[in-house]
């Protein structure tokens, strides 16, 4: 009798895992990079949806210029629909990132990422590219 109960419990656990797997697969966990001039100099967008029922995705920007700089900074969350982030040149080793109504400055010289109240509202310099979805996958698409 005990062996039959153990088999039923194991089957129940396997069924639960099989039913939950598609739900857990709906979570997002991605990292996409804009490579500045080498693999050691980049601005990376990280997105993580820890629970499938969450309607927000946690986001962070990682600025990297090895060996001098590597820092991960949380930015405002996004929806699960993936709002593109435009990237513009804003100075020497400085980029402006624009997502929806928000602007950020990312510096690989000072190793900082911060909110930016863009006074003019326009692009501070030439477009570099955009973090976006292409065929359902996050990519960095360079400006034309």
Residue 21 lies in a domain: no
Predicted confidence at residue 120, as pLDDT, reads 86
In a domain, 50, yes or no: yes
Q: Indicate the pTM of the whole model.
A: 0.80
pLDDT digits (tens, 9 = 90+) for 87-109: 999 999 999 999 999 999 999 99
Specify if 4 maps to a domain. no
Nearest-angstrom CA–CA distance, 144 and 129: 8
Residue 129 exposure: Cα atoms within 13 Å on the Cβ side: 15
Q: For residue 59, is it within any domain?
A: yes
Provide the domain count of the chain.
Answer: 1
Structural domain that includes position 113: 29-142
Residue at 101 is within a domain: yes
Instruction: Give Rg (Cα) of the chain.
Output: 20
Whether 113 and 75 have beta carbons less than 8 Å apart is answered as yes
For residue 90, is it within any domain? yes
Q: Has residue 15 been placed in a domain?
A: no
pLDDT tens digits, 13-63: 655 545 444 444 458 899 999 999 988 999 999 999 989 899 999 999 999
Is residue 34 domain-resident? yes
Q: Alpha carbon 99 to chain centroid distance?
A: 12
């Amino acid at each position: 009798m005990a062996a039959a109960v153990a088999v039923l419990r194991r089957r129940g656990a396997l069924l639960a895992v099989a039913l939950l797997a598609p739900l857990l697969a709906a979570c997002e966990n991605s990292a996409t990079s804009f490579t500045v001039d080498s693999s050691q100099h980049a601005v990376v967008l990280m997105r993580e949806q820890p629970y499938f029922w969450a309607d927000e995705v946690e986001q962070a920007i990682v600025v990297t210029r090895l060996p001098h700089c590597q820092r991960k900074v949380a930015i405002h969350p996004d929806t699960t629909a993936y709002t593109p982030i435009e990237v513009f040149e804003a100075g020497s080793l400085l980029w402006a990132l624009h997502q929806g109504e928000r602007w950020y400055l990312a510096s690989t010289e000072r190793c900082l990422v911060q909110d930016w109240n863009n006074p003019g509202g326009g692009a501070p310099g030439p477009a570099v590219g955009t973090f976006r979805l292409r065929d359902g996958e996050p990519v960095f698409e360079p400006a034309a």
